[in-house]
Structure 1
Amino acid sequence: MEFQNDKNNNNFETSSNAQSVNINFSQLEHGINEISSSFWDEINQEMQSNDLPLWRMWR
């Protein structure tokens, strides 16, 4: 197995990947809030029905 010019290849790959990343933080924040909201909705439903698993009580 040869590792010639491994450093040069990694630098090119890293820089090309970094330049192509375009994050829409508004969509990211919306997705995180949606996941968090659905998680707490599920917790609240379990608490109301007295069906809360023991591992969830330790928060």
Structure 2
Amino acid sequence: TLTNRTWNYKPPLAKDIPEDFRITFLQNRPNPHGVLRTKTLGESPLVLAFSVLFALRHAITSA
């Protein structure tokens, strides 16, 4: 779902997955929007890692 603000974003839940979820993999097909252009796979863990780093730094300096 596309939204214009983070407060409007509702992440999909387990109940949103259809009961009958069948997929097929395309063999030898070009995919211009494939894995190399997917930003969310790499950015999410990186942002989480930085948030943990800064939370630890803040906890140590506040002690």
TM-score, normalised via structure 2 length = 0.39
Q: Which of the two has greater helix per residue?
A: 1
Which fold has the larger relative contact order, with Cα–Cα distance below 8 Å and residues 6 or more apart in sequence? Answer: 1
TM-score, normalised via structure 1 length = 0.41
